Amino acid sequence: MIAYLDCVGGLAGDMLLAACLDAGADVELLHALPERLGIDVVEIRVTRVERHAIGATHVEVVTAGGGAFDGCHRTYRHHPHRRWRDIRALLESAELDDDVRTRSIEVFTALARAEARTHDVSVEDVHFHEIGAADTLVDVCGGIVLLRDLGVERLLCSPLPAGRGTTQAAHGVLPLPAPATVELLRGAPIFGVELDAEVVTPTGAALAATLADAFGAVPSMTLERIGYGAGTKDFPERPNLLRLLLGRSGAGATSEVALLETNLDDLLPELAPDAVECCIAAGALDVWTTAAQMKKGRPGFVLAALAQPPEEAAVARAIFESTSALGVRVSRLRRYELAREERTVEVEGRKVRVKVGRLDGRVVNVAPEHDDCAAVAAALGRPAKSIWAAALAAAGELE
* pLDDT tens readout for residues 138-171: 999 999 999 999 999 889 999 999 998 887 776 6
Residue 253: predicted pLDDT: 61
Q: At what angle do helices 370-380 and 384-395 cross, to 10 degrees?
A: 120
∠ at Cα 347 (341, 348), nearest 5°?
Answer: 155
Check residue 82 and give its pLDDT. 73
pLDDT in tens, 358-397: 776 678 889 999 999 999 999 999 999 999 999 999 887 7
* Cβ atoms of 364 and 357 closer than 8 Å: yes
Average pLDDT score over residue span 337-357: 86
pLDDT of residue 399: 58
**3-state secondary structure at position 151:** coil
pLDDT score, position 254: 67
pLDDT band at 398 (very low <50, low <70, confident <90, very high): low
CA–CA gap between residue 318 and residue 284 (Å, rounded) = 10
The predicted structure's pLDDT at residue 171: 63
CB 341 within 8 A of CB 155: no
pLDDT band at 268 (very low <50, low <70, confident <90, very high): very high
pTM of the model: 0.67
Whether 76 has a pLDDT exceeding 70, the answer reads: no
Domain 254-337: give its CATH code. 3.30.70.1380
Q: State the average pLDDT over residues 121-138.
A: 72
Q: Which residues of 20-33 are buried (b: 16+ CB within 10 A; e: fewer)?
A: bbbbebebebbeeb
Mean pLDDT, to the nearest integer, of 313-330? 95
N-to-C CA span, the chain: 13
**Domain definitions of the chain by residue range:** 2-248, 254-337, 339-395
70 band by pLDDT with thresholds 50, 70 and 90:
very low
For residue 96, is pLDDT > 70?
A: yes
Looking at residue 213, its pLDDT comes to: 86
CATH number (3.30.390.10, 3.40.1170.60, 3.40.640.10, 3.10.20.300) of 339-395 reads: 3.10.20.300
Quick one: how far is CA 104 from the chain centroid?
9
With a pLDDT cut of 90, the percent of the chain lying above it is: 60
- Whole-angstrom distance, CA of residue 95 vs CA of residue 389: 30
Q: What is the mean pLDDT of the chain?
A: 88
Interval 163-220: pLDDT, tens: 988 877 766 788 888 899 999 998 889 999 988 899 999 999 999 999 998 888 888 7
* Residue-level pLDDT at 216: 86
| Of 268, 23, 8, nearest in space to 152 by CA | 23
Q: What is the mean pLDDT of residues 302-331?
A: 94
d(CA 318, CA 280) in angstroms, rounded, equals 9
Cα 225 to Cα 156: distance, rounded to the nearest angstrom = 15
Q: How many CB atoms lie within 10 A of CB 111?
A: 28
Say if residues 59 and 44 touch (Cβ distance below 8 Å): yes
The percentage of residues in the chain with a pLDDT greater than 70, rounded to a whole number, is 90
Cα–Cα distance for residue pair 155/143, rounded to 1 Å: 12
Neighbours of 251 (CB within 10 A): 10
pLDDT digits (tens, 9 = 90+) for 278-295: 999 999 999 999 999 988
Asked if residue 77 has pLDDT above 60, the reply is no
